[in-house]
Structure 1
Amino acid sequence: SDSRILQDYAWFERHLGPLVPIEVVVRFDESCPLSLRERLRVMQTLEETVARHHDPSQVAEATEKTDSQQRTYAGKPAAIMSALTFLPEFPEPTYDALTDPQLRRELATRYAVDVETQLMALLPQFARLGYLHQVNKQQSWRLTAYVGSLDRIDYGQYLKELKAAIAPLFDDSSQLSLIASKGVAANHVSVQFTGIMPLVHEIQRQLLDDLFQSFLSAFAVITLIMILLQGGVIAGLISMVPNVFPTLLLFGTMGWLGHDMDIGSVMTASIALGIAVDDTLHFLTFFRRGLQQGLTRRESVRFAYVHCGRAMIQSTIILALGVSVFGLSDFLPTCRFAWMMSASLSAALLGDLVILPALLISPFGGFFVEYARDGEDKDDAHTVSIPFSPTSVSTVSKSLRVPRRSFQQQGLDSETGAEGEDDAGESSVRFPQAFQDEDYGR
């Protein structure tokens, strides 16, 4: 309501009328037997039908003022314009004083011819106004109806109901017969809906469908990659939980609170998924390193917090603050996109630093331990042998900064001595490749 654009729209609709147009085009083919007067009668019936469905935000009935012929709807001027809007009045003659039926028929025929002649003279004016397009004997008559742009209207539902109300007028030849007072085949008259509202509604529907399909495609591809990286289907699916958490949280909350979704809001789903999976991979990488170093799952989570937690927080703050600048925009989709992105980034960080560690510590984390052990077995093929004198393992552990339990897993203990003593009195210790990482040098 604070937007200048919305304020201007409200002023125009309050002083001039609704601004969102919907066009209904009625086409009469070359072989249509209806006269010009009868065709205008068809347009009048169409206009009355549209008037009954004019304003979907209110419940009222269309009325007609005979003095000014200005149609009203719930006390407001009905925003419907067609050739009938500029049509002069043709008062019907009265034949009550005439007793001769033959004379009455002659006068009625003469009146009809006069009206038809005057209507033919108005065709160029209708064409200049844009409400008539004629090619040879084929005519297209246009009717424009306007609906409010600021009302909470489901334009798609309104357009669907309007089509359902108009279709019977042209699908059944008997309806045309009642309108035109003569038999007319239904294929001689057709109706088409166009204008800004149907066009924008179709574009918005297509964009929303494409964005939803984009999110599903991104989710499927990322899930497949996570399954391959984590070495198991269950582990890959578990790792996707914090990635879909922002989307489920934000859009679920919007649905619960009854907030409408627009293109700017839906665009954030795929973007949030891509950003969340980046932090998830960082956290899982350091968690796996901790497991390969012999740490427990709880200690590996702490190890991941220490090595990548600060970087994840810093990157989220930078991205959220950067995109939040657009939240000050007067363009509503851009403003919603900015705040939705900031909220999605915050929710993604919450999922990676709270939900993901909780899953790793829970029984579900056992699936990641199995993969880490498989990776450690592969690293044994890259071990090195370092000869040393039979000194205590504690001294070697302190000098290399290697956890004591890692030596115990290799069958070494400072109190029981070292394995693998050869004839020269020296021992050989095989260190896994993980112990050779540069992290231990720090």
Structure 2
Amino acid sequence: MAKRRSFRSKYLRRMRWGIALLIVLAIPAMIHSKAAINSLLNLPSEWVPDSIPAKVDFNELSSRFDVGEILLFSWPGATLDSPELARVSAALQQISEEPETFDETLDVELTAETKKAIGELKAICGGEIPFHWARSGGDTLNQMTQAPLSLSVDASVARLKGFLVGPSGEQTCIISSLNPVGTVHRRQLMPALRDLIAGIADVDPATIAVVGGPREGADVDAASIRSVELFAPPSAILAAIICYICLRSVALTLAISVVAVIGEGLVLAIVYYSGMPMNAVLVALPPLVFVLTVSAGIHLSNYFLDAWQEFPDMSPARATRRALKAGIMPCFLASGTTVVGLGSLMLVRIEPIRLFGFAAAIGVIGTLALLLMVLPGAMILTKETKEKRDRRRAPPHPTEDEIPEDVPASAFSRWAYKTTRARLARPWPMIILFLVIGGVFSAGLFRLQTSVNLLRMFSPDSSIRTEYAWFEENVGPTSSADALLTFPPLTDDDNPLTRLAVVQNAHVSALKMDSVGGVLSAITFMRSVPTGRSIGASSRRAAMVKMLREPDGPLMKTNLIHRDSAAETWRISMRMWQKEDTNYSAELLEIEKAIEDSLDDAEVPVELTMTGHVAIVEEAQTILLDDLFRSFLTAFAVVAMVMMVLLRSVIGGLIAMIPNLFPTVALFGFMGLVGTPLDIGSVMTASVALGIAVDDTIHLLSRYGSRRARGIGQIRAAHGALAQCGWAMFQTTMVCGLSLMTYYFSDFVPTSQFSILMFGLLTAALFGDVFLAPSLMSSSLGRFLARTVGVDPEAELWSDEPSPEPIDARRIPARPTDSAQ
């Protein structure tokens, strides 16, 4: 009795310390997790190392031409001769690093309200200027029609169509380049810029179309934050409700739910402390920690409930001690294996993935420690209902093939018992079935496609899709790409007109491509080169040569030519159509080939580089997805090696990974077969599936190894392990899968798809661990799965006791013990 009180006091005292620690940790979990969410900023181009060739090219474009994130504005009535357009352009130039307008004769006076709004925009950026430059189609037209270019209005408008001027020849836009300061604050800038333009142009803010990379990023960031803030609370509440329905214990439910929620907050706080903004890769971090925490908590709780249900007269303290003795080692092994797998992610080159692995590993370790502090006390405080206490389990080791008649089991329980034993007695049909299913779905893995298309991220009636559709119909394409033609440094002996001819051929070749709607280059601002030998033609050619050589001339102000001691670079800026089924990688390759063909007859050495916003985002996302795949394979390989160590068998480790691989192969293979493209969130779900599958598999293996160590035959050991862990695995799937399904109702498509994928992966993992893993254990391969490191034959629950006469043929114990002989 004294020893019983001693355990009770020990567990309750530990729980009090755990509650105190949870209260302390709740402060950063709430405050700094909120700060991490608010810092959300998706910049895929910044995630990849500068050594990547595509990143090198984009950095050169940015440094040579001051090209940041391109942002375009237009609205009905924004025509070339619109005074409102001129006022908006003048206002934006007030918050640009290059404030001078191309039309130096334009004198636009800003109102006091406009100046106040400009001040508020600067305040959003901490008093700094958000734009590199800003100019309107009218500004550019004025530059082209004034001396020294002196092009006609009609010719100028024709050259600007598809780039700055719409098909009507009147509708135009404002183009701007957001600097790094503006990019960081883009989410707050977008509505403020819309209000500024609406106030100056006297139009409804909803009629203003804002397109470009910063708009896309701002909407993705805002939608991600909105999804987390709107659906995270109901998800946690639903998880607690389902957890209570499964465990029927307020104390256990509170302990697991509180630790899981605080664990989510703590990993977000780790992201905040790292200094890296939250992004699409790290969004999967809280669900991973939540799922693994709930899994560990439910498994431990079921060890306790099993012990207490089998021995209803046992005190809660003794039942808790028995549960911890049986369950603590599997929990350590499961968490340790998961941590090692997550830790392997820190070896990849993508910084967000490295942080993901580090924060997730810390989260798994921390939440397990918190569970071990508070759960034993919660077990002590659990009050069992009379009906549950009076219920008795069927004898775990029947001496006949049928359940004894005196066992108070339901018809379903008797059917499930017989069916499971019959299935485990003949395991190979089930194993072959899973291998066939896996083989069929694996064919889809080779058909998987990745997609970073913006239009697929939002519903068809969303404001961003509506604005993009209006802009492309009335102004021109919304995606930007650049071709850089690099020549040797220009010397006094070189003829600039020769280089101009090369650029003209490339310009025309790009404009002929169906995917390109408009092109802007130095050719846009130049008259045709006269070919005659008359004095007039010669003098015009001389004037053009002079204009091309002038370091501060009007052409250099267009930001389309850059010269330094190493090279001369001409920039060809293109606008590409954005459609839901657009494959930018293929289109860029076609454009590159067309331009290369035009350079075959070039009279001077020239090098072509394809870059720009579309190119860098496409390349960065492709590299990121490739690294995510590699990181998953790395984690899988590391977990496999850990399983080999745990089972003390190379073959056993490989066999044990088959159920862990099944959910990923099945779901992603299915996506490949039906043609559903992958995005970043989709790939990150694979890490969650691996974590939960490994968790359940190790609990099964531990219980299986414990039974085999006590001399129980393979079939009964596999059946007993499944009977003990199966309900906990089902509860974990229901709690985590259904609670995450609340995100399905998000209007942000990636978040909605993430919830569906998570539920599918968790369900597939459950099928693998309930049907495939026990079949492997009861087959001839089971002998490789029985020698689990750390199994304690004395850490028995009701189904751990050896049978005096094992009833299955595969009854030779893996490790004979005195109790088994």
The structural deviation recorded for 1:351 is: 0.7
Tell me if the contact between 1:272 and 1:341 (Cα under 8 Å) persists in the aligned partners.
yes
Aligned length: 347
Distance in 2 (alpha carbons) for counterparts of 1:226 and 1:138: 56
State yes or no: 1:155 paired with 2:584: yes
Say if 1:10 and 1:105 are closer, same or farther in 2 by CA, change over 3 A: closer
Structure 1 residues 221-370: aligned runs within 5 Å = 221-368=638-785
State yes or no: 1:130 paired with 2:567: no
Distance in 2 (alpha carbons) for counterparts of 1:367 and 1:139: 67
Distance in 1 (alpha carbons) for counterparts of 2:692 and 2:558: 54
Partner of 2:602: 176
Distance in 1 (alpha carbons) for counterparts of 2:661 and 2:801: 39
Tell me if the contact between 2:481 and 2:615 (Cα under 8 Å) persists in the aligned partners.
yes
Tell me if the contact between 1:294 and 1:405 (Cα under 8 Å) persists in the aligned partners.
no
State yes or no: 1:19 paired with 2:478: yes
Match of 2:805 among 384, 390, 405: 405
Structure 1 residues 7-46: aligned runs within 5 Å = 7-28=466-487, 29-31=489-491, 33-46=493-506
State yes or no: 1:80 paired with 2:519: yes
Q: Counting strand residues as a fraction of each chain, which structure ranks higher? A: 1
What is the percent sequence identity of the aligned residues?
34
Tell me if the contact between 1:243 and 1:280 (Cα under 8 Å) persists in the aligned partners.
yes
For each residue in 1:191-232, what CA deviation from the matched residue of structure 2 results, as whole angstroms up to 9, or x when unmatched?
Answer: 333211121122112212211221121111111111122232
Distance in 2 (alpha carbons) for counterparts of 1:348 and 1:203: 31
Distance in 2 (alpha carbons) for counterparts of 1:262 and 1:232: 37
Secondary structure in 2 matching 1:193: strand
Match of 2:542 among 113, 126, 130: 113
Secondary structure in 2 matching 1:404: coil
Partner of 2:507: 47
Distance in 1 (alpha carbons) for counterparts of 2:784 and 2:817: 25
Distance in 1 (alpha carbons) for counterparts of 2:514 and 2:611: 16
Distance in 1 (alpha carbons) for counterparts of 2:757 and 2:466: 24
Distance in 2 (alpha carbons) for counterparts of 1:401 and 1:39: 88
TM-score (norm 1): 0.68
Secondary structure in 1 matching 2:553: helix
Secondary structure in 2 matching 1:176: coil
TM-score (norm 2): 0.38
Distance in 1 (alpha carbons) for counterparts of 2:465 and 2:498: 43
Distance in 1 (alpha carbons) for counterparts of 2:525 and 2:680: 40
Distance in 1 (alpha carbons) for counterparts of 2:819 and 2:559: 81
The structural deviation recorded for 1:237 is: 1.3
Say if 1:201 and 1:318 are closer, same or farther in 2 by CA, change over 3 A: same
Partner of 2:631: 214
Greater than 6 Å deviation, 4+ residue runs? 118-123
| Structure 1: gaps of 5 or more residues | 56-72, 96-103, 178-183, 383-399, 407-429, 436-442
Secondary structure in 2 matching 1:256: helix
For each residue in 1:43-84, what CA deviation from the matched residue of structure 2 results, as whole angstroms up to 9, or x when unmatched?
Answer: 2101112123341xxxxxxxxxxxxxxxxx7xxxx2222233
Instruction: Flag the structure with more relative contact order, 1 or 2, with Cα contacts below 8 A and sequence separation at least 6.
Output: 2
Aligned-partner residue type, residue 80 of structure 1? V
Aligned-partner residue type, residue 157 of structure 1? A
- RMSD between aligned alpha carbons? 3.6
Say if 1:318 and 1:134 are closer, same or farther in 2 by CA, change over 3 A: same
Say if 1:271 and 1:31 are closer, same or farther in 2 by CA, change over 3 A: farther
The structural deviation recorded for 1:261 is: 1.7
Higher Rg of the two aligned structures: 1
Tell me if the contact between 1:24 and 1:191 (Cα under 8 Å) persists in the aligned partners.
yes
| Structure 2: gaps of 5 or more residues | 1-458, 795-799, 807-815
Partner of 2:460: 2
Say if 1:401 and 1:309 are closer, same or farther in 2 by CA, change over 3 A: closer
